[in-house]
């Protein structure tokens, strides 16, 4: 009995709801206007459900319903669920880019958790930037935390075939430009591509982050791939609600689960599933919040890991197929020998997530001995064009172009690219290296997904499907091609990328991990002396705050004043 009383005294929510004075009266009384009885505030855990539901974010449009199943589990386990909204980042809907607002979401999540009287939190996200933004914010407060993702859409269907959100958009668009697909067919594919609520059905950033969350033990097993409309996801949400109450009782915090070993497991898993390049900036940012030393070079740990998951954009299947083949438990079982021992939200080791797991379709999830590709992890590139680093995704690239040297054709910004890319007289060949500037964290701002530049129209008509492309931007996890991304320092910050001119020779060697512009240092110094940054497009509000404080891609593009955490209890009352 005394042990239980000690738990009640230690619970964070008691600073709000346990006082027998004016402050406690106010906190409890206003909550009671929603019908809460007295015993809701008797010391049982208050569980926050941090929801990114929004009708403007189609990927997360099912989360309002999913929250109800989480609440069932919380009530059943003896807790009190309280749902609260935070900013929702619709990847396909926001301008200039959802990435601009990831850090704002993280601030929203962090301050909401800190300001309210909750003991633990369930993060409901899904769309690309919502999951990392929520994790960043929760890391900075460090309460018991667990994730339940929105889940993927059902497979897209068009003319009797499966089509994947994102990946097939790029392919269809290029086919229209090449005259290989009718515009009417392109337009007809829209409805068939998105047939249910949920995130992109390819191994884009949303499914990548859901997979990594599971591999890091921050969700219950099977979270990554269960379709959004599958009843088993509702059951999983119920069990997630039960588990967070137990985590509060066990005082199992965010930082207890998200250790260095967990991040290493995420890097290895990202390679095995053919995950998004966006995982790099998100994992780096989350690590910075939780206090784990994780540099860009850590991603080389995955460079020799075989590609096991045969899903778009690196393969041919979709996430619904991945689910039915065994999902993440089957993948973790295959790479068991590579994984680090690491604690999970279940309290035990990550090995429990794949004990007894089976694969039911070996063409979707390959065995470690017969992979889709032998070495598929992201490669980190360095050189005089990227002294702070850049990355490339070999599994989505044309292998022959991973070792390449060619003359650069430079687009100074995204408007320059859009104005020229379809010019029939554009002076480019299939060997040209396309270079795009001004699309980094500061430059756009927000580091948009435009790094997979379109192939110039004149080359598309010649049958060219891929070229080497270099930029300080990101690319969608659904995209593909020989695309060098996240070049740092970015052009807007005065990095060497800003100094490249059309006609300069650029050399890429993925095997050597190098990216160089073959220009004499004296010439580069002369160019640097005459260089000036572009005027920022945004001069007020959050965007200005972002531009003034955002760090480079190698630091996860977080804001400099948000790195780390503050676990102190707020003691000042508002009344």
Would 451 be classed as within a structural domain?
Answer: yes
Q: What is the pLDDT of residue 208?
A: 97
Would 166 be classed as within a structural domain?
Answer: yes
Q: Phi, psi at residue 406, to the nearest 5°?
A: -160, 170
Which CATH number covers residue 265?
3.40.50.2300
Nearest to 477, CA basis, from 365, 373, 396: 396
466 and 325 co-located in one domain: no
Would 510 be classed as within a structural domain?
Answer: yes
117 and 219 co-located in one domain: yes
User: The whole model's pTM is what?
Assistant: 0.95
Lookup result for tokens 């070079």: 297
How many other CB atoms are found less than 10 A from the CB of residue 516? 18
Would 371 be classed as within a structural domain?
Answer: no
Q: What is the pLDDT of residue 479?
A: 84
Would 7 be classed as within a structural domain?
Answer: no
Contacts of 250 (CB under 8 A, 6+ apart): 144, 347
Q: What is the pLDDT of residue 190?
A: 84
271 and 338 co-located in one domain: yes
Q: Are strands 46-51 and 433-436 parallel, antiparallel or unpaired?
A: unpaired
DSSP for 114-142, written as a single string? HHS--SEEEEEE-STTHHHHHHHHHHTT-
Contact 411, 420 (CB under 8 A): yes
529 and 434 co-located in one domain: yes
86 and 225 co-located in one domain: yes
Q: Distances in Å between the alpha carbon of 127 and those of 130, 238, 350? A: 6, 21, 25
Nearest to 148, CA basis, from 33, 30, 75, 62: 62
70 and 217 co-located in one domain: yes
203 and 274 co-located in one domain: yes
Nearest to 350, CA basis, from 236, 242, 221: 221
Would 29 be classed as within a structural domain?
Answer: no
Instruction: Tell me the per-residue pLDDT of 498-507, one tens digit each, with 9 for 90 and over.
Output: 999 999 999 9
Q: What is the pLDDT of residue 167?
A: 74
Q: Phi, psi at residue 301, to the nearest 5°?
A: -60, -25
Q: At what angle do helices 130-139 and 278-290 cross, to 10 degrees?
A: 10
Would 69 be classed as within a structural domain?
Answer: yes
118 and 266 co-located in one domain: yes
140 and 163 co-located in one domain: no
In the predicted model, residues of the chain with pLDDT beneath 70 are 1-9, 166
Q: What is the pLDDT of residue 6?
A: 59
Domain end call among 353, 388, 420: 353
Would 27 be classed as within a structural domain?
Answer: no
317 and 407 co-located in one domain: no
Domain residues for the domain of 499 are: 379-535
142 and 169 co-located in one domain: no
What's the domain count of the chain?
A: 3
327 and 210 co-located in one domain: yes
Residues 241, 210, 214: CA angle, nearest 5 degrees = 65
Q: Phi, psi at residue 158, to the nearest 5°?
A: -155, 120
Instruction: Tell me the per-residue pLDDT of 65-99, one tens digit each, with 9 for 90 and over.
Output: 999 999 999 999 999 999 999 999 999 999 999 99
Which CATH number covers residue 487?
3.50.30.80
């Amino acid at each position: 009995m005394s042990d239980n009383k000690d738990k009640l005294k230690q619970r964070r929510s008691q600073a709000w709801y346990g006082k027998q004075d004016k402050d406690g009266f106010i906190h409890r009384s206003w909550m009671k206007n929603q019908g809460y009885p007295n015993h809701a505030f008797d010391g049982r855990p208050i569980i926050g459900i941090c929801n990114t539901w929004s009708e403007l974010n189609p990927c997360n449009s099912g989360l309002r319903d999913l929250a109800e199943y989480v609440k069932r589990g919380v009530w059943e386990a003896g807790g009190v669920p309280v749902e609260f909204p935070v900013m929702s980042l619709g990847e396909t809907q926001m301008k200039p880019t959802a990435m601009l607002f990831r850090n704002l979401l993280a601030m929203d999540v962090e301050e909401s958790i800190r300001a309210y009287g909750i003991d633990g939190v369930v993060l409901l996200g899904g769309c690309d930037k919502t999951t990392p933004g929520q994790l960043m914010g929760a890391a900075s407060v460090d309460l018991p935390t667990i994730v339940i993702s929105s889940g993927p859409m059902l497979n897209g269907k068009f003319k009797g075939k499966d089509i994947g959100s994102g990946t097939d958009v790029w392919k269809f668009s290029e086919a229209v430009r090449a005259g290989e697909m009718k515009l009417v067919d392109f337009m007809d594919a829209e409805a068939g591509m998105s047939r249910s609520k949920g995130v992109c059905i390819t191994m884009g950033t949303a499914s990548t982050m859901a997979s990594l969350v599971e591999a890091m033990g921050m969700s219950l097993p099977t979270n990554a791939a269960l379709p959004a409309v599958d009843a088993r996801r509702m059951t999983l949400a119920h069990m997630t609600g039960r588990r967070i109450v137990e985590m509060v009782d066990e005082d199992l915090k965010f930082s207890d689960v998200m250790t260095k070993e967990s991040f290493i497991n995420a890097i290895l898993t990202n390679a095995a599933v053919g995950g998004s390049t966006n995982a790099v900036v998100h994992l780096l940012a989350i690590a910075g919040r939780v206090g784990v030393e994780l540099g860009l070079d850590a991603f080389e740990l995955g460079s020799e890991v075989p590609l096991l998951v045969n899903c778009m954009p690196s393969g041919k299947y979709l996430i619904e197929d991945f689910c039915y083949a065994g999902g993440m438990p089957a993948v973790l079982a295959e790479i068991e020998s590579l994984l680090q021992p690491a604690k999970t939200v279940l309290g035990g080791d990550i090995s429990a997530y794949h004990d007894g797991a089976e694969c039911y379709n070996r063409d979707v999830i390959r065995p470690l001995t017969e992979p889709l590709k032998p070495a598929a992890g992201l490669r980190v590139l360095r050189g005089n064009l990227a002294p702070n680093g850049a990355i490339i995704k070999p599994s989505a690239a044309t292998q022959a172009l991973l070792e390449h040297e060619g003359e650069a054709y430079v687009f100074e910004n995204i408007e320059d690219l859009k104005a020229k890319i379809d010019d029939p007289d554009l002076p480019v060949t299939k060997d040209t290296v396309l270079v795009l500037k001004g699309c980094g964290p500061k430059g756009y701002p927000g580091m948009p997904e435009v790094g997979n530049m379109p192939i110039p129209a004149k080359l598309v008509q010649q049958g060219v499907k891929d070229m080497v492309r270099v930029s300080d931007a990101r690319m969608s996890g659904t995209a593909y091609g020989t695309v060098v991304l996240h070049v740092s320092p970015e052009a807007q910050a005065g990095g060497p990328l800003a100094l490249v001119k059309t006609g300069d020779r650029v050399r890429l060697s993925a095997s050597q991990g190098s990216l160089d512009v073959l220009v004499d240092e004296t010439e580069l110094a002369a160019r640097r002396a005459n260089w000036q940054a572009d005027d920022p497009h945004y001069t007020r509000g959050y965007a200005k705050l972002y531009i003034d404080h955002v760090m480079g891609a190698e630091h996860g593009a977080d804001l400099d004043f948000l790195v780390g955490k503050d676990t102190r209890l707020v003691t000042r009352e508002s009344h």
